[in-house]
Amino acid sequence: MENYPIRTKNAAERFLTLLKTRGPLSAAELASELGITGEGARLQLLKLAEDGLVHSESTSRGVGRPVLIWSLTPLGNARFPDTHTELSLQLIQTIKTVLGKEALDNVVNAREKSQLEKYNIALEGVTGLENRLSSFAAIRSGEGYLAEWKKEGDTYYFIENHCPICCAASECDNICTSEMRTFVSILGQKMNVSRMEHIINGARRCVYKIDAE
């Protein structure tokens, strides 16, 4: 179940958001997703390439001619900005330098408590794993994470296609540990939650695998 809504204002933003949330795609796949012609998709991609927002790579997909697969450039990824990056990094570095690592851990723990309280209030009365996943994805998307979830067999996956605090998390790995604890609290202690893909480690997105114990 792919359920992140593509709600953007213009054609360029729709293309960029699809490439961000779905990963590299061909012009035909983009055209199918957006309900436009293949030629229209190719023209839009060429324009985005001229602006330095996307690039293509020829890939063989079995029998037949190689296919051009399109993905975001670093400039294209920058259209999904890191929130207050410079200030966040300065604050983290200052706390570590002036007050020490323990003080930074206390700050991260306080943020975790605040986030968890906010999420619990927003999810109050939302029962059932799928309902909670849908509501939580909407909340996280509102915070800039471009979140969605899907189910494969008996396993659920919670996907965040963007991390608006990526630079801060790179500077302070406790933030990602805190995020994991928050996910477990939100989804319930009876669920096994494990991180399968991690933006900090070079992945395109963060993916959490969710299984019942």
pLDDT in tens, 153-191: 999 999 999 998 888 888 888 899 999 999 999 988 788
The answer to the question of residue 1 being in a domain is no
Least confident span in 9-23, 28-42, 114-128: 9-23
Both 89 and 191 in one domain: the answer is yes
- Evaluate if residue 5 carries a pLDDT over 80: no
User: How many folded domains does the chain comprise?
Assistant: 2
d(CA 84, CA 66): 41
One domain for residues 91 and 70:
no
Residue numbers of the domain that contains 22: 11-77
Same domain, 132 and 204: yes
- Specify if 145 maps to a domain: yes
Residues 72 and 90 in one domain: no
Please give the structure tokens belonging to residue 135.
Answer: 């509501």
Is the CB of residue 161 less than 8 Å from the CB of residue 145? Answer: yes
Whole-number Å distance between alpha carbons of 147 and 19: 14
96 vs 178: CA distance, rounded Å = 17
Residues 64 and 145 in one domain: no
